[in-house]
Amino acid sequence: MEIILKQDIPGLGYTNDLIVVKNGYARNYLIPQGMAIMATESNKKVRAEDLKQKAFKEEKIKKEAETLAKAIEGITVKIGAKAGTSGKIFGSVNALQLSEAIKAQFKFDIDRKKISLDGDSVKEVGTYKAKINLHKEVGVEIDFEVVAE
């Protein structure tokens, strides 16, 4: 029986996949649990329209991410932190502080979860790199400098 999945099912397929399964599995488990619908002609047309709209939305999100990546590509963010005489800072600089510094200095609102630092946090004064993943296919590296206050 041909069915259209309404959600991701491990080992079977992903949302909106058109797959063939045994009749009993579809009728007794997948369809009653709301995990799938029968692949009739009208459901196939609805699926095609959904896939077309989803592709359009994904393309729009990707273009916005690429535009933002070009805008933030060459920036250097300065983060002030209290530091001792040896250059070690009290506490650490993490992705949240970097996100707030980018917003304060350059007016770009970037979620802290999209920023990855080497080793999760920085504990000394110096210049470092951070990777920002704006989209699954779009990422950019920025420089940031930790300075003593």
Q: Which CATH architecture has domain 2-64?
A: 3-Layer(aba) Sandwich (3.40)
DSSP codes joined into one string, 6-73? SS-BTTTB-TT-EEE--HHHIIIIITTTTSEEE--HHHHHHHHHHHHHHHHHHHHHHHHHHHHHHHHT
Q: Beta strand 76-81 with 138-148: parallel, antiparallel or unpaired?
A: parallel
Domain map of the chain by residue range?
A: 2-64, 69-148
pLDDT digits (tens, 9 = 90+) for 16-72: 999 999 999 999 999 999 999 999 999 999 999 999 999 999 999 999 999 999 999
Q: What pTM did the predictor assign?
A: 0.67
List CB contacts of 129: < 8 A, sequence separation 6 or more. 118, 141, 142, 143, 144
pLDDT digits (tens, 9 = 90+) for 108-141: 999 999 999 987 778 999 999 999 998 888 999 9
Q: What is the pLDDT of residue 105?
A: 92
**42: its two tokens:** 């009208």
Average pLDDT over residues 81-100: 90
To the question of domain 69-148 being in CATH 3.10.430.100, the answer is yes
Q: Which residue has the tokens 């200095």?
A: 105
Q: Beta strand 88-93 with 36-38: parallel, antiparallel or unpaired?
A: unpaired
Q: What is the pLDDT of residue 121?
A: 78
